[in-house]
């Protein structure tokens, strides 16, 4: 008479348990890690990255607070719980706008986290649904990054003065047309 098995052996149970633990470890690791794009975005491609998040239908805003140690991404004014590591800790960040003649330093409005708490914004960029963005010159780590009104990769200059020269020449070309 053949012997009937009524249960799994200890070895079979341990093998199944081991496979479950390994599968869970791989699955949980993929979801707990931020994607490489979220962890760090190249500064000269920041506006392209924000435009990609918003597509052609949403206003995407970046608000950098806490001395630019934390940059929050908002879509249509709503917090997305996405933060970007753009700036290194304790590095000075300055932003400028070109008024047609010269660059002027920008002071950004505070970011209201809730009605009782607000944070000072050291850098802000908005990318609009039509594909345009704020035109800004960002000074960071002895470089100047120019983000133009239309979405393309930012231009990088050695100094803010070089960025201003470029903007002045462009302004003269536009007036000369």
Q: Where in the chain does DSSP place strands (E)?
A: 60-65, 70-75, 78-84, 93-98, 103-105, 111-112, 118-119, 121-127, 136-140, 143-147, 155-157
Q: What is the CATH number of the domain that holds 70?
A: 3.55.40
Q: Is residue 138 part of a domain?
A: yes
Query: Do 127 and 99 sit in the same domain of this protein?
Result: yes
Query: Do 71 and 94 sit in the same domain of this protein?
Result: yes
Q: Is residue 2 part of a domain?
A: no
Query: Do 94 and 145 sit in the same domain of this protein?
Result: yes
Query: Do 117 and 164 sit in the same domain of this protein?
Result: yes
Q: Is residue 1 part of a domain?
A: no
Q: Which range marks the domain in which residue 13 is found? A: 8-38
Q: Is residue 100 part of a domain?
A: yes
Q: Which residue, 74, 76, 46, 65, is CA-closest to 136? A: 46
Query: Do 94 and 133 sit in the same domain of this protein?
Result: yes
The torsion defined by the Cα of 35, 41, 46 and 52, in degrees rounded to 10, comes to -20
Query: Do 100 and 123 sit in the same domain of this protein?
Result: yes
What is the predicted pLDDT for the residue at 81?
82
Query: Do 106 and 23 sit in the same domain of this protein?
Result: no
Q: Does the global pTM surpass 0.75?
A: no
Query: Do 20 and 93 sit in the same domain of this protein?
Result: no
Query: Do 24 and 89 sit in the same domain of this protein?
Result: no
Query: Do 109 and 130 sit in the same domain of this protein?
Result: yes
Query: Do 23 and 49 sit in the same domain of this protein?
Result: no
Tally of domains in the chain? 2
- Kindly give the confidence (pLDDT) of every residue in the chain, 177 residues in length, as a single tens digit, with 9 standing for 90 and above: 566 667 778 888 899 899 888 888 877 765 555 444 444 678 888 888 888 888 778 899 888 888 888 888 989 888 888 888 888 876 788 888 888 788 899 888 888 777 788 888 888 988 888 878 888 899 988 899 998 877 777 789 999 999 999 988 888 887 775
Query: Do 62 and 130 sit in the same domain of this protein?
Result: yes
């Amino acid at each position: 008479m053949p012997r009937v098995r009524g249960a799994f052996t200890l070895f079979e149970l341990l093998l199944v348990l081991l496979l479950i633990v390994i599968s869970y470890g791989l699955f949980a690791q993929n979801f707990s890690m931020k994607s490489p794009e979220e962890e760090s975005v190249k500064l000269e491609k920041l506006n392209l990255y924000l435009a990609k998040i918003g597509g052609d239908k949403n206003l995407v805003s970046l608000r950098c607070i806490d001395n630019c140690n934390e940059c929050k991404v908002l879509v249509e004014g709503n917090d997305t719980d996405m933060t970007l590591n753009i700036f290194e800790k304790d590095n000075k960040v300055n932003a400028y706008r070109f008024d047609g003649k010269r660059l002027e330093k920008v002071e950004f409005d505070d970011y209201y986290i809730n009605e009782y708490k607000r944070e000072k914004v050291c850098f802000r960029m908005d990318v609009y649904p039509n594909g345009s963005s704020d035109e800004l010159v960002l000074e960071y780590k002895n470089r100047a990054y120019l983000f133009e009104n239309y979405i393309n990769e930012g231009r990088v200059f050695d100094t803010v003065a070089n960025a201003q020269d470029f903007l002045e020449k462009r302004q003269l070309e536009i007036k000369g047309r």
